[in-house]
Structure 1
Amino acid sequence: MSFVVPAPRFTDPAVFGQVAVLMGGTSAEREVSLQSGQGVLDALRSRGVDAQPVDGIPALVDAIRAGGVDRVFNILHGNRGGGEDGVVQGLLEALGVPYTGPGVLGSALTMDKVRTKQVWIAEGLPTPRFLRLPPDRDVRAAIADIGLPVFVKPSCEGSSVGVARVADANGIEDAVRVAREYGGEMLVEPLVVGDELTVGILGDLALPSIRIVPKGEWYDYHAKYVSDDTRYLCPGLEGDEEARIGEIALAAFRAAGCSGWGRVDLMRDRASGELLLLEVNTAPGMTSHSLVPKAAAQVGIDYADLCWRVLEQTVPADAASTGGAA
């Protein structure tokens, strides 16, 4: 599969003005966000962008009020103080400050795995069957309805936070405990045996897929952000299958109201070969272990160039006539 990558729209960093790299926050994914944010900050500064770190939403409001923000590179992860649930997007829309990533609708919807899957089903897009698990729902009964093995996961968290993998009856009590500690809505879906894949989205381009091969049994938080033993095969598929996964990922991204950049996670069922959508990440990780930079590198976009291309999505097309255009 061949990729045609357009040239960057701008060459002059002055076109971006003062950029707040929004990171950290108070969500469960704070530490990952800080790592991602530092990488983005260093990359933008290496290209001459006037970029400053901002930790969390209250600090961002202060910076905007002080007149020190022309646009925001949002690398907050998660919800409840993170930047992927539509809250910060709504704030920035109200204040008229451009920002990276999907808007209010796409961010809010995809933070909720249950509602995202409902939209995909309505659009005829493939996703594993699931049961919604309200806080008062019997976890054991839901697992019995789906049938082992299953994943029990929060509907509104990312980075594998709060996920219970239930392979047999011995794991059911752990799932009950996880659900009780989390306290919010969860979902139960079958554990798909097969290949774990992800597709980065950059504008209208689906980047090459990545097949993730963890050393352990599954791709958990440790495998994502700590382990150096996880293997990443890019492209993850070949020929028609690679073209197909890009089409599905882009369709899923758009169906969920998303634009700009992000990442779509899927599984390929080993028995049937079917590609199944899992979730969308609207502010993907940008750490040394992160996946979108790995995929972008396969088509000649290095880390700093990727950050630049994401940021330039916040600049209107007609800005090319007023300065900095390539």
Structure 2
Amino acid sequence: MNRRHGIVITLGLWLATAGAFATIGIVFRNGFPGPWFWCWLACVPVSGVLLSLVLQAAVTRLEARSLAGRWLRLAPLFLVVVLAQAGADHGFYVLMRALFGIKPVEGFIRGVSLNATLYVWLFAIQALVFELIAASDRAARNARNAEEAREAARAARIEALRNELNPHMLFNTFNGLSSLVLSGRNAEAEALLERLSTYMRACLEGGDAALIPLTDEIALIEAYLAIEAVRLARTPDVRIECPHDLSEAAVPRLILQPLVENALKYAVHPSRGAASVTVRAARDAGRLRLTVEDTGAAGASVPSGTGRGLSIVRRRLDALFGAAASLTTARDGSGFSVEILLPLSGADPEPGAQAA
């Protein structure tokens, strides 16, 4: 329970009670009461506040139990609090009259009983307020816990999808490594292993980050292309166009590499190097547009963009950005292209924006 809110409400309720008692005293006494009345009135909220805090502490301590279970245990304390305040009220009343030389009031039991009928309602209202505060706090905690659970599940899903990409690329690399070893090309196999270790180190550095600067993603592509150059004994024709002001734009890690891999596998390799791949970054109405396109229409006998890598990229975008991101594919006479649109963040301001 939010203890501060409970204390503020308790003080407000007892001040309102004192105000009501003062109004009743003035009305029924046909004038301003004597000093003893105000001294008695000042004492009543003191004991009331203390007993209310005891009740609040008990409600907080038993908060984990069900409502019925909680009040089965709180009922005796509630009755004790009511009788204690009724007795304190009557005691203060008698004491102040005696101190100021006013005729004492007889009938202690009767006085306490009358007070109890009033205070049972007052403390019942407070108990209800405490329960409402506790329920509100529980709802807020449950909402936070649910959000944290959703975020953890979302992060785990994104990480699992990202981790599927490395085995996807490694399978092809190890096949190439095996071929090099079997054909006795040990120097090339050693170079491939060295490039592979560089690539994997780049993948693992900052692996917990869902988003990385675009320049780091391009570095991963370049590391992957270095592996392909050793494996195939030729450097793939891949052009990368990234404006300087977009180099720090935030993108999902390993979002472009599987698209480049698809383009090489389905367009460049079948054409024996005659085709090329272009990776392009640009602004698009306040968003980041990433394009991977190939010129391998003649050699692409396998439908480009229908592999596992593209499916994983699409699911990762959905998990990270939902409807704010999209992935589209297109084929024409010149080749196949994949276009990604996602929220633009982390990039430098658009040239001319500051001047405007």
Q: Name the TM-score class by shorter chain.
A: under 0.3
Q: TM-score, normalised by structure 2?
A: 0.23
Higher strand share: 1
Q: Which has the higher contact order (CA 8 A, sep 6+)?
A: 1
TM-score (normalised: structure 1): 0.24
